[in-house]
Amino acid sequence: MKHFELTKKMLSMGGVFYPTGYAFIMFPDAEDAKHVAHELEVGSDGVMLLTPEDIIADISRADGHSDVRLPRVGTEGATVHKYVDLAREGHHALMIPVPNKDATERIMEVVRKVPFSYAQKYHSLAIEDLE
Confidence of residue 65 (pLDDT cuts 50, 70, 90): very low
Greater model confidence, 40 or 66: 40
11-18 long-range Cβ contacts below 8 angstroms, 24+ apart: 11/62, 12/76, 14/63, 14/76, 15/62, 15/63, 15/64, 16/62, 16/63, 16/72, 16/74, 16/76, 16/77, 16/80, 17/59, 17/62, 17/63, 17/76, 17/79, 17/80, 17/83, 18/76, 18/122, 18/127
Q: What is the percent of the chain with per-residue pLDDT over 70, rounded to a whole number?
A: 87
Give, in words, the CATH class of 20-129: alpha beta
User: 94-106: per-residue pLDDT in tens?
Assistant: 999 999 999 999 9
52 pLDDT more than 90? yes
Please report, for the chain, the start and end positions of each structural domain, with discontinuous segments joined by +: 20-129
Structure confidence by residue, pLDDT tens digits, 67-95? 444 444 467 788 999 999 999 999 999 99
- pLDDT of 45: 67
